[in-house]
Amino acid sequence: MTAPDLRPVHPLRRGHAVLAPACLLMGMLFATGSAPQVLAKDVFLAGAFAADITPKHLPVSVNGGFQDRMVGSVHDRLHARCLVLDDGKTRLALVICDSCLITREIFDAAKRLASKATGIPEDKMLMAATHTHSAPTAMTMAESQPDPAYLKYLEAQIAEGIRRAVDNLAPARIGWGVGREPAHVFNRRWKLKPGVEVLDPFGIPGHVSTNPGFLNPDISEPAGPVDPEIAILSVQSPEGRPIALLANYSLHYVGEVPPLSADYFGQFATRIEQRLGAAAADPPFVGIMSNGTSGDINNRNYGAPAPVRKEPFEQIWHVADRIASAVLVAHKRIVHRDWVSLAMVEKEIELGVRMPDSQEVTRAKEILAKAKGPGLRSQAESYARETLVLSEFPPRVNVKLQAIRIGDLGIASAPCEVFAETGLALKERSALRPAFTIGLANGYNGYLPTPEQHQLGGYETWRARWSYLEVEASTKILATLLELMNQLRP
């Protein structure tokens, strides 16, 4: 039995037909002597809403480091920024959450709640974290443990955000474009000069140093490229009132805790609202910044002298303002369309886990036996703990990948901290143009170095819960995303 369509029907749409005025229908009836056949025409709808996901109780655990950190103050509110699109046949939802990492279990639970409330199929939802390092722990990582009550609140608020976005559905126009801001993206992995090596926590030499320090005499050149592009998806009312703007930039994060903050992702939302003159919009305008392929990218140029130290959040504001300026320039060139078709597909693939062997497990137990608490203080101790945790992992894991087509625009998603070179390869080879990737989507499976970067070593390749997929994982993920993009070719 086919499931009933639970979507609310917009007043302009009945059975995907545009209702003609009564006088026109009567005129046609008198002229032809029979009831007229109304031509089918879909109306493009869009709705947006930003649901608050700031914890209600403080202090709260914040992850993103080797040790747990408790934070008791809030600088700016955290949100799940939701955008729902409907072309008359397909309805889909995109949600970007101000969080460092969110598990697949949480996202899946939020999708179930949202689907039950709105009728949007779970496989037509993309949910991702921004990777701000100043948000409550939502995934057990290193020594940080989430508050179960906050996780339930997070699930419910994400679902509520989608429901409210559906409530805000109205006729809309949509367009997309690409801007550039090269001044704030730098590869944080640097190759070491010949004869210089760095030992990883397992005693294996590597040829790359992550965040090596400014003008380090041992480094030669960045180990990979950067992606300075800003992908833009703009939604407005038929009259031109801004409804939402989704941007995608490949910059890891800028700030550090404390206090709680949405980082440059949240500040961009505020800045672009101001630049578009949408502060008084009703329903409220929703600015959204998603994290692209920034697994090896940050805001520090280690090939130059250290910059003058700025006040807390000054750099966050500066970066957000520069990105908003670049987006505004590109936004002026966007052609908004009255209607485009939508399509979305997803696929799960199985990937191997880099499991520790028996000798590595024995070594890890010996290191931890000598550790003097409370907590683990050395890098060797932290990675010894990770070795024991990963020894209990299954040898293979499922990874969810998605692709979305909005007109000719392609959006891919992966549950990883994807390296810039993989994102650039997808843009170059995608069947949809332009295209971009949203990282940290629908779960978290750690860093995604390319096989070549694995050979060079460095922090992002060291085996832990934040880096455990097989060496060929990026190759297989890229191939699958390109396959999905090809399936969506108009």
pLDDT in tens, 93-131: 999 999 999 999 999 999 999 999 999 999 999 999 999
Confidence of residue 68 (pLDDT cuts 50, 70, 90): confident
Length of the chain: 490
Query: b or e along 101-132 (b: 16 or more beta carbons within 10 Å of the residue's beta carbon)?
Result: bbbbebbbbbbebbbeebebeeebbbbbbbbb
The model's pLDDT over 254-265, given as tens digits with 9 standing for 90+, comes to 998 789 999 999
Estimate to the nearest angstrom the gap between the alpha carbon of 308 and the chain centroid: 30
Backbone angles phi, psi at 184, to 5 degrees: -125, 20
Token reading at 285: 């305008």
Which residue type occupies 83? L
Torsion of CA 409, 225, 250, 487, to 10 degrees: 30
How high is the pLDDT of residue 263?
Answer: 97
Given a cut of 70, whether residue 18 has pLDDT beyond it is no
Per DSSP, the three-state class of 352 is strand
Estimate to the nearest angstrom the gap between the alpha carbon of 123 and the chain centroid: 17
Token reading at 180: 């550039």
Backbone angles phi, psi at 399, to 5 degrees: -125, 130
How high is the pLDDT of residue 490?
Answer: 84
Percent of residues, the chain, with pLDDT higher than 70? 92
State the CB neighbour count (10 A cutoff) for residue 459.
21
How high is the pLDDT of residue 444?
Answer: 98
* Rounded CA Rg of the chain: 24
Lowest-confidence pick of 20-29, 140-149, 377-386? 20-29
The model's pLDDT over 43-66, given as tens digits with 9 standing for 90+, comes to 999 999 999 999 999 999 998 888
Confidence of residue 6 (pLDDT cuts 50, 70, 90): very low
Which segment, 5-19, 25-39, 334-348, is predicted with the most confidence on average? Answer: 334-348
Mean pLDDT of 219-247: 98
Q: What angle do CA 19, 21, 26 make, to 5 degrees?
A: 110
Given a cut of 60, whether residue 240 has pLDDT beyond it is yes
Alpha helix ranges (H) inside 370-419: 379-390
- For residues 293 and 417, what is the distance between their CA atoms, to the nearest angstrom? 7
Q: Per DSSP, which regions of 67-172 are E strands?
A: 69-71, 79-86, 91-97, 125-129, 170-171
| Mean pLDDT of the residues in the chain | 91
How high is the pLDDT of residue 31?
Answer: 36
Confidence of residue 376 (pLDDT cuts 50, 70, 90): confident
Confidence of residue 85 (pLDDT cuts 50, 70, 90): very high
Widest pairwise Cα distance in the chain: 94
- For residues 482 and 140, what is the distance between their CA atoms, to the nearest angstrom? 31
Ramachandran assignment for 473, one of left (phi > 0), alpha (psi -120 to 50 degrees), beta (any other): alpha
Mean pLDDT of 388-411: 98
The model's pLDDT over 266-321, given as tens digits with 9 standing for 90+, comes to 999 999 999 999 998 899 999 999 999 999 999 999 999 999 878 889 999 999 99
Given a cut of 50, whether residue 75 has pLDDT beyond it is yes
- For residues 124 and 344, what is the distance between their CA atoms, to the nearest angstrom? 6
Q: pTM above the 0.85 mark?
A: yes
